[in-house]
Structure 1
Amino acid sequence: MRSIRLAVLAPLLLASTAPAPHYAVVHGWPVLPPGRLFGPCSGVAVNGKGEVFVLHRGNRGTDAKGLATLKEPVVAVFDAATGRLLREWGAGLFVVPHGISIGPNGHVWITDTGSNQVFELTPDGALLRTLGERGVAGADATHFDRPTDVAPLADGSFYVADGYGNSRVMKFAADGRLLFQWGTHGTGPGQFDIPHALAIDAGHRVYVADRANDRVQLFDGKGRYLAEWKSPSIGRPFGLALLPGRRIAILDGGTSSGKVPDHDGVTIAGLDGREIAHFGGIGNQDGQFRIAHDIAADRAGNLYVVDIAGQRVQKFVRR
């Protein structure tokens, strides 16, 4: 297997010695109502009940004109085992929904790059809390500039990747107070060019998909730089998902020219950065991607990937 280059060595966890996993796409998953199609799918998350939350944008593309909200439901919830559609919600609330995460308490977090806001909701879509000022971009403690992802923790605190405009990662207390932040725009250690996705492991290390810098950066829980992972197989990381067995899935969404990616795929790595497996590619067939945008894992280690251009979600099971 190829190795992912570590630019700076940090205290590393031992890599798994288990055999390299193989992932196969589940044909016919999920089951949509007759005639139903998704819009661009930007986010996916799985809760502890085995429900898969797919975030999509209906007929809206990447950018919004003004602050008009999407009138159709933008969150579709599926049964992970059967692919059956369980419920939908989110109409009239979001402008350009981007990332979706689920906390240990089951609450759903959604970032909106169109409104510059972060939302906390119940699993059925009831609004609990909104952070940020609608339609106002900023770089202070109470404003965002096109935030991309949220990583909620068991104690109620949470990290936010304030990605497209501010190139920073912020940590908030459970009550919404900003505790600290780090990152500026750039290519150096601890700098970002679109921090697009977050993951937090059991050792409280923070993984950041530094998308336009073509790398994953690692930090401790206080934002201190540890290392970076960068390799041809990682490519341009759009999404991250922690897996059982001290592993992580890194989603390469490719660069795009005229909405056509030049590569797409998933790399499975140990938490020491060693590459274990890789699958996927560009295309419209099952198991292929077109601007893969986010990835999530369930408790069994099955993976779910959503596409922007492909406008779909796919399930991959470990064989």
Structure 2
Amino acid sequence: MRITGLAAFAPLLLASAAPAPHYAVVHGWPSLPEGRVLGPCSGVAVTSKGEVLVLHRGNRGTDAKGLVPVKEPVVEVFDAVTGKLKREWGAGLFVVPHGISVGPGDHVWITDTGTSQVFEFAPDGTLLRTLGERGVPGADATHFDRPTDVAPMADGSFYIADGYGNSRVARFAADGKLLFQWGTRGTGTGQFNIPHALAVDRSGRVYVADRVNDRVQVFDPRGRYLTEWKSPAIGRPFGLALLPGNRMAILDGGSNPDKVPDHDGVTIAGLDGRQVEHFGRMGNQDGQFWIAHDIAADRAGNIYVVDIAGQRVQKFARR
């Protein structure tokens, strides 16, 4: 068996001899109305109905001064098969929209690093709940500091990656009560330097894309450290997506020196950390990425990737 990881880390992200599924970019997906372009795309999620939700920043760009919301709709809802734009919403609600997740009942969760808040919406975009105080960062039960992602659970509870400022992961009850949290800024076991994305498997294991530390850390449902994955194959993980067959798609967004990524790509791995397949590279052509920022998968195992600099979403069909 050929080792593709770094010998200093255990378990390694290893190459597997098992047959690998292959992914091919779907050219012409999605189909935007004539003259329509997306802003920097930061998040993507898939509903139970096969709708692909793309979160972008319109004309805002990648940062904002003050608390002025993006004026145009920032949530685009596409048909997963045809790529047709079905509807859009979210105008005037977010300052710097960052992460998007879909939970039970197809409720939509969105993090806003501009306001340091987390929002829960009904499938039609009706605001149901707001967590955090607008524009007031903090590290307690009711404040966040530029939160990045939400992992909603079947019982209504949810994890929040918080994020750029606090480097913690917190679990909340369905009613929004803080249950527990873990993590501080650092490079040690259970520490983070930008916990950027979350995934939770069927057994309750929590996977954290520890972006600047170039690793994925794995915890039990109570936040106790289990292991980590770190290797050149996964690079700098920006996003995570669970796939059918107990596999994980890990999105490498690159180190981005001076905002120019030095590598981009997707690694498919088993939940034991063994590499199955890798595809994609830096670039602006179909099937390439330009600061890839988030990843999602549908029930069939098709993969969707959004770019910040590329300002687009791409579909990769499993074949």
Q: With the length of structure 1 as denominator, give the TM-score of the two structures.
A: 0.96
Deviations 1:164-203 (A, max 9, x none): 0000000000000000000000000000000000000001
- Residues in 2 aligned to 1:171 and 1:3: alpha-carbon distance in whole angstroms: 34
Aligned to 2:206: 206
What count of residue pairs does the alignment treat as equivalent? Answer: 315
> Do the aligned partners of 2:16 and 2:275 also contact (CA within 8 Å) in 1?
no
Aligned to 2:229: 229
Aligned to 1:175: 175
- Residues in 1 aligned to 2:284 and 2:141: alpha-carbon distance in whole angstroms: 42
Aligned to 1:26: 26
RMSD: 1.5
Could you tell me how far 1:37 is from its partner in structure 2? 0.6
Quick check: 1:256 aligned with 2:259? no
Aligned to 1:190: 190
- Residues in 1 aligned to 2:278 and 2:3: alpha-carbon distance in whole angstroms: 10
Aligned to 1:40: 40
Q: Secondary structure at the match of 1:258?
A: helix
Residue correspondence of structure 1 range 109-128 to structure 2 within 5 A: 109-128=109-128
Q: Secondary structure at the match of 2:212?
A: helix
Aligned to 2:131: 131
Aligned to 2:282: 282
2:50 corresponds to which letter in structure 1?
G
Q: Secondary structure at the match of 1:59?
A: helix
- Residues in 1 aligned to 2:23 and 2:52: alpha-carbon distance in whole angstroms: 18
Aligned to 2:65: 65
> Do the aligned partners of 1:40 and 1:309 also contact (CA within 8 Å) in 2?
yes
Could you tell me how far 1:206 is from its partner in structure 2? 0.2
Could you tell me how far 1:7 is from its partner in structure 2? 3.8
> Do the aligned partners of 1:147 and 1:163 also contact (CA within 8 Å) in 2?
yes
Could you tell me how far 1:63 is from its partner in structure 2? 1.6
Quick check: 1:154 aligned with 2:159? no
- Residues in 2 aligned to 1:48 and 1:18: alpha-carbon distance in whole angstroms: 30
Could you tell me how far 1:62 is from its partner in structure 2? 2.0
Q: With the length of structure 2 as denominator, give the TM-score of the two structures.
A: 0.96
Q: Secondary structure at the match of 2:58?
A: coil
Q: Percent identity?
A: 79
Aligned to 2:103: 103
Aligned to 1:242: 242
> Do the aligned partners of 1:209 and 1:216 also contact (CA within 8 Å) in 2?
yes
Q: Secondary structure at the match of 2:105?
A: coil
Could you tell me how far 1:16 is from its partner in structure 2? 8.9
- Residues in 2 aligned to 1:16 and 1:276: alpha-carbon distance in whole angstroms: 6
Structure 2 unmatched ranges of 5 or more: none
Q: Secondary structure at the match of 1:105?
A: helix
- Residues in 2 aligned to 1:234 and 1:68: alpha-carbon distance in whole angstroms: 36
Report the CA distance shift for 1:264/1:85 in structure 2 as closer, same or farther (over 3 A): same
Quick check: 1:76 aligned with 2:81? no
Which structure 1 residue ranges, 4+ long, deviate > 2 Å from structure 2?
A: 1-10, 15-18
Q: After alignment, is 251-260 or 87-96 more displaced?
A: 251-260
Could you tell me how far 1:4 is from its partner in structure 2? 4.3
Structure 1 unmatched ranges of 5 or more: none
1:220 corresponds to which letter in structure 2?
D
- Residues in 2 aligned to 1:257 and 1:139: alpha-carbon distance in whole angstroms: 29
Deviations 1:22-41 (A, max 9, x none): 10000000000001111100
> Do the aligned partners of 2:116 and 2:134 also contact (CA within 8 Å) in 1?
yes
2:113 corresponds to which letter in structure 1?
T
Q: Secondary structure at the match of 1:118?
A: strand
Aligned to 1:272: 272
- Residues in 1 aligned to 2:224 and 2:108: alpha-carbon distance in whole angstroms: 27
Could you tell me how far 1:308 is from its partner in structure 2? 0.1
